Amino acid sequence: MKLSFRDYPFLLLVAGSIVALDQWTKSIVRANLPLGSTWLPEGWEWLSPYARILHWYNTGAAFGLFKNGAILFSILAIVISVLIIIYFPRIEAGNWWLRVAMSMQLGGAVGNLISRVTMSGRVTDFISLGTFPVFNVADSSITIGTIILLLGMWLKERQLKRDQVTQAQNRGANNGGKESE
């Protein structure tokens, strides 16, 4: 398959937008909310058990998993980012779901990598929903990108199976109802 670098603008636009939004929201939280503090718009206190902004640091993976793994996750983010950049031009134009998924995953990986490098291995988390671990825009992007990837693979597999059934039915009809061996 021929490598095509014409696809990088899409990757860079999506991933770059995610990195920018991630870094911007993290900086707003760090500048305006003391560590460990919670914020809700005035009059929205009823929402507190369900959703709130909570300034928190994380030294592990997304959603607070694997605490104190900053170096490991920094290396992993670099490796994944490089692999996405190398593999991206090889994706067929029709695989929009794979392009979107990989772009989102790259944006999330780079967003959290920037935080780890600039904040001594820590990542600012601030989105708190119910009892779910606190997370950020980069974590969300990685998760949504993974869901899109899995959903796209599942849909493609279903389509391939449908195509195989249709081809088998067509072969049977072309052979007078007899399957060829």
Q: List, by residue number, the catalytic residues.
A: 125, 139
User: What is the enclosing helix (H) or strand (E) of 38?
Assistant: strand 38-39
User: What is the enclosing helix (H) or strand (E) of 128?
Assistant: strand 123-129
In angstroms, how far is CA 139 from the centroid of its own chain? 7
Which amino acid is residue 107, in one-letter code?
G
Report the alpha-carbon distance of residue 86 to residue 26 in Å, rounded.
29
Report the alpha-carbon distance of residue 42 to residue 89 in Å, rounded.
48
